[in-house]
Structure 1
């Protein structure tokens, strides 16, 4: 027998055993709690011995992982993908001639969600009304602020920012007419969430002082 480019052949030209190549391993981006599957396509002579790895550690068949090998393909089913399932995955296949590997990744796609916000806020006329909402989710997150159904934008009246998963709306020099219900909305490719915040702008405050040094701040609505 002779060796040609790593493949074993007979002089009659009939292939007895060939090395193989791992052709493809498709990455997975999944919603939390959903199942996901990694497919590894192989080219070469069966039978193959398949080993799956996550972050360089071998995986075993379990309730979490289901492994299927059929002909020139191998599949790893991941049941109920959670944050702990994200990472780098590797499919290693071998036969009597050699081995090859394919690498890919599993990522979690989390819908946009509001995790913390005030229900209401009261400020004195002339002050800055600062509304803040904390969110989470897979980027790219798109936050929006509304009042009376109209989307707000940064300008002389409002200053809007979004940094470190916190969206802020500052109502500059708040007036009585700024009182009302504000709606915050955040969305990404896989979901949307919204909440409402009531803003009350008080008419002004007076500092009243009684005998014996007793004082009190009274705000007019």
Structure 2
């Protein structure tokens, strides 16, 4: 006896469409849609008719048919029409949306820059200390701290913060081993700025010492 299996094919169908976005330079977007079909459709993403490829575009697919496209650190040229096309041997379907990313600062993208450097400080072991920098630049701004050329590790001895364009490295109680070369770095997609402080913590019996701040012009 021959058993015949009736396999039903179904063309792709979007049961959830991607949505338009209006956001700003430096932000991120995530287009999401839900597609069905049998056999399971393959999906490709396009912008203004051009297939999206490269590390900037993160396309993901879930087992339930949920599709997503994430783009981080947006620039103005990311504005345009985005399209998701699903295909299987039974047919093709598509869904479209528009992303609008206006330029900031009257179409000028401002590079990251340190505009106020850490003040001169005097430190004796056991005292608190703060290195503070004020910065400017178009978001998204990224900060990094280094000691003696190596990334500054997480520690309960100090707190690192960045709020309202002010970056701080706050020591709760300095120790002599905290001495070293501290570098603060601020960056965005169009610029980078850094400043290095030669920071010395003296023993209780030593006189206070003024730190030497070295910043590139």
TM-score, normalised to structure 2's length?
A: 0.45
Which one scores higher on RCO, CA 8 angstroms, separation ≥ 6? 2
TM-score, normalised to structure 1's length?
A: 0.44
